[in-house]
Amino acid sequence: MTEPSRLGEVAKVLRDRNVQLLLGRLMNSESKKFYPIFDADRGYRYPEVEKLVEGPPEAEELLQRLVDAGILEKKVCGEITSCPKCGSSGLRRTKTSEGHLEGSSRLCSSCGFPISPENINYQEVYYYALDSKGFGEISDHLFVASILDFLQKKGFKTESPGYLEGESGVVHEYDIVAHGSDIDNGGLVLDFEVSKEVVGEERAISMFAKVYDTTPLKAILVVSPSITERGRKLAAQYRIDLVEGGDINLLLKRLAKVVPSADRVRYKSLDVMTLLSLPDHLRSTAMALHSAGEATAEEIATVTGRARAVESSYLNQLVRMGYIKKYRKGRRVLFSHVD
């Protein structure tokens, strides 16, 4: 039987967003393991983990926390040699006066200290994998991993983290980017927040900044346990679907209501009957784009006779509604219909 106090400790660890994202990535990776890579200065590092934290020491610290909580186990996967003086792993062989390489003598490439088989340091390096026993206990608390699994079952191809380039040229990171069968036919983005307390509205605001720039077809903010009332209002205003819940079962149940199957997350047809259903101001913008095929807001403005800023706003509305797409070509921001 698991001690209640240890389970409480594990639950606390799992209320950390980085832990959830990390475990989501681990479970979605092919090897289901975090392997180190060689680094001349530090000896080794875990680049996948560093994407979530500040740097290599913090990455190792996070991994160790999960080992201590019994979620991950670490196993030796090799050893590296390093300088006994400065700890650097960059070693170079010495040369004779004739320029030939000498036997087994080495110099530290960082501090120049002479290194021999007698004084060289050996250090074990580890890979990290899910602790099979610990995983059984926590599987109900793995939010991101469960959401990825849910999306894949709906037919999406998922990336976690996923990246989308915005109108500004900035590449934005989402916790999950999901595509249907055709990657050009729009996508769904999902951000995730887990906390011990009610999540602040800043989370909705920061997601909106990314969504505004990248205009995905569907944006979902998953929050556990809940978000402030202002956060709810902002998400609704920003057309971000909000999913709140204290546990993963509730989250998945609510997520099922806002996530359609992958083949339905696609651009909508802008046929004449749809045009008729649009408000007048959007209809003339859409018709002008239909005639042009591909155009900037300025080019559409010359057709409709309205100001460029007005057309830009209308075109962006049509993008958010899923009728047209937006992309960059060099410095130009173009809009076009979708086949």
Partner 1 sequence: MVKILAFHSSRGGTGKSLIASNLAAILAEKGRSVALLDFNFRAPSLATIFNVDESRSYWLDSFLAGECGIEETLVDITERYGTRGRFLIGLADPRIEAMSRIASVDRRWQTRALRRILSLRKELDVEFIFLDTSPGVEYSSVNAIASSDLSILVSTMDLLDLEGAQRIIRDLYDAFEKKTLILINKAMPHELASDEGRKRLLQELAERFSQPILAVIPCYCDLLLSNRSTLFALEHPDHPFSGVLREVAKKLEEST
Q: Applying CB under 8 A, which of residues 274, 302, 313, 317 lies at the interface with partner 1? A: 274
Q: Which two tokens stand for residue 112?
A: 């120049």
Question: In Å, how far are 35, 93, 94, 222 from 191, measured between CA atoms?
Answer: 26, 49, 52, 6
In the complex, the smallest distance separating the C-beta of residue 276 from partner 1, rounded to whole angstroms, is 6
CA distance 329 to 325: 13
Q: Applying CB under 8 A, which of residues 33, 42, 51, 290 lies at the interface with partner 1? A: 290
Q: Applying CB under 8 A, which of residues 4, 117, 280, 331 lies at the interface with partner 1? A: 280
Q: Which residues contact 86 (CB under 8 A, 6 or more apart)?
A: 108, 110, 111, 113
Q: Applying CB under 8 A, which of residues 8, 196, 271, 330 lies at the interface with partner 1? A: 271
CA distance 128 to 76: 9
Beta strand 33-34 with 121-130 is antiparallel
Q: Which residues contact 298 (CB under 8 A, 6 or more apart)?
A: 308, 311
Closest CB to partner 1 among residues 33, 337: 337
Q: Which two tokens stand for residue 253?
A: 């149940």
AA letter at 218: K
Q: Does 305 engage in binding with partner 1 (CB under 8 A)? A: no
Residue 157 three-state SS = strand
Q: Does 283 engage in binding with partner 1 (CB under 8 A)? A: yes
Q: Does 293 engage in binding with partner 1 (CB under 8 A)? A: yes
In the complex, the smallest distance separating the C-beta of residue 269 from partner 1, rounded to whole angstroms, is 4
Q: Does 272 engage in binding with partner 1 (CB under 8 A)? A: yes
Q: Applying CB under 8 A, which of residues 273, 305, 329, 330 lies at the interface with partner 1? A: 273
Q: Does 197 engage in binding with partner 1 (CB under 8 A)? A: no
Q: Does 76 engage in binding with partner 1 (CB under 8 A)? A: no
Residues from 16 through 45 that contact partner 1 (CB under 8 A): none
Closest CB to partner 1 among residues 252, 318: 318
Q: Applying CB under 8 A, which of residues 53, 287, 303, 334 lies at the interface with partner 1? A: 287
Q: Are 275 and 252 a contacting pair, CB within 8 Å? A: no
Residue 131 three-state SS = coil
How many chain residues bind partner 1 (CB under 8 A)? Answer: 17
Q: Does 339 engage in binding with partner 1 (CB under 8 A)? A: yes
Q: Applying CB under 8 A, which of residues 91, 129, 205, 275 lies at the interface with partner 1? A: 275
Q: Which two tokens stand for residue 108?
A: 């530290």
Q: Applying CB under 8 A, which of residues 5, 100, 291, 305 lies at the interface with partner 1? A: 291
Closest CA to 270 of 304, 229, 319: 319
Q: Does 337 engage in binding with partner 1 (CB under 8 A)? A: yes
Q: Which residues pair with 213 in a beta bridge?
A: none
Q: At what angle do helices 4-14 and 17-28 cross, to 10 degrees?
A: 90
Q: Which two tokens stand for residue 246?
A: 């204290």
In the complex, the smallest distance separating the C-beta of residue 215 from partner 1, rounded to whole angstroms, is 20
Closest CB to partner 1 among residues 54, 271: 271
Closest CB to partner 1 among residues 5, 277: 277
- Which H/E stretch holds residue 301? helix 297-304
CA distance 1 to 6: 11
In the complex, the smallest distance separating the C-beta of residue 298 from partner 1, rounded to whole angstroms, is 20
Q: Does 269 engage in binding with partner 1 (CB under 8 A)? A: yes
> Which residues contact partner 1 by CB under 8 A?
269-276, 280, 283-284, 287, 290-291, 293, 337, 339
